[in-house]
Amino acid sequence: MSTGKLFAIGTGPGASDLITVRAARILGEIQVLYAPASRKQGDSLALSIVREYLSEQVLIKERHFPMTADAGEKRQAWDEIAAEMAQDVTSGKQVGFITLGDSMLFSTWVFLLERLGPQLDIEVVPGITSFAGIASRAQFPLCMEQQSMAVMSCTADEEVLRRALIDHECVVLMKVYGRFEKIRALLAELGLLQCAILMANASMENEMYYPELAAIKAGEALPYFSTILVNRKYRQQKV
C-alpha cells in the first residue's frame, strides 16, 4: 500500500493567483481535498480560490465547521473531521486541507493538527496572510528596524487591545467584524485613528479599502473579512 500524507495548505488572502507555486503543485496531485465551510450547505470560499488547480479526479469533501460559542459543538466537529481525515491518510491517500491565509494563524487547521499530530505524515504549506496582502495592496508598511508588531484578535478584552496598541508601533487587528465601533473609539482615545487603515476582502473582486477610518459612517455594515492595520509612523504620511 502506498504511504498516505496530509497537506495543510494556506490559500492566501483571496485572489487565486496569490497561492504559492508549491501549493498549486500539491493541489494538482492530491486525491482527497477537505474544504471548510461555515454553513452546512457548503459555502467554502477557500474551495472557490483553489478550484482551478485541482485535478478532475480529486474527491472534494466540504465539511462544516460550526462558528458558534458552543465549545462542545465545535469539539465534536473537530473530532469527527480529524478522524475522517486520518482514515483517508492511513488508507494510503494523498489528502489536502485548505484554509484561508496561512494555516498556522487564526486557523481551524490548528485544532485539527492538535488531534492528528505525530500519528500522520503531515506537511504544512504556508500561505500569504491577509494582513501581508493588505499591507502590499495599500502600500502600508508594517514593521521596520527596531519596531515591534502585534497581531491581535478583536475578540480580546479591550484592555488587552489597549496594551498592545500602547506597547507596539505596529498592530494588526483581525476579526474586526461586528466590533468596529469599539475599535474605532479605542484608536481615537489613543490618538491613533489617523495611523490606521481598514481593508476588507483583500485581493478579491469585492475588495473594499478605507484609508481613513473616521470616514466610515456609524453603523455601516462592514464585510466579515475586515482587518485594520495600525502603524504610528504612518501618521506623518497621511496628514
Query: Where are the domains positioned within the chain?
Result: 5-128, 131-231
Report the C-alpha gap between 237 and 219 in whole angstroms.
Answer: 28
What pLDDT was estimated at residue 69? 82
pTM of the model: 0.92
What pLDDT was estimated at residue 236? 44
What pLDDT was estimated at residue 66? 85
Scanning the structure block, which residue is given the C-alpha cell 480529486? Answer: 58
What pLDDT was estimated at residue 239? 41
What pLDDT was estimated at residue 237? 54
Q: What average pLDDT is seen over the chain?
A: 94
* CATH top-level class of 131-231: alpha beta
CB-based burial label for 73 (10 Å; 0-12, 13-18, 19+): exposed
Asked whether the beta carbons of 114 and 85 are under 8 A apart, the reply is no
* CATH top-level class of 5-128: alpha beta
What pLDDT was estimated at residue 41? 57
Identify the segments of the chain with pLDDT beneath 50: 1, 236, 238-239
Residue 153's beta-bridge partner residues?
Answer: 174
> Are 5-128 and 131-231 equal in CATH topology?
no
Tell me the CA distances in angstroms from 179 to 22, 53, 174, 184, 221, one per residue in order: 36, 35, 10, 9, 11
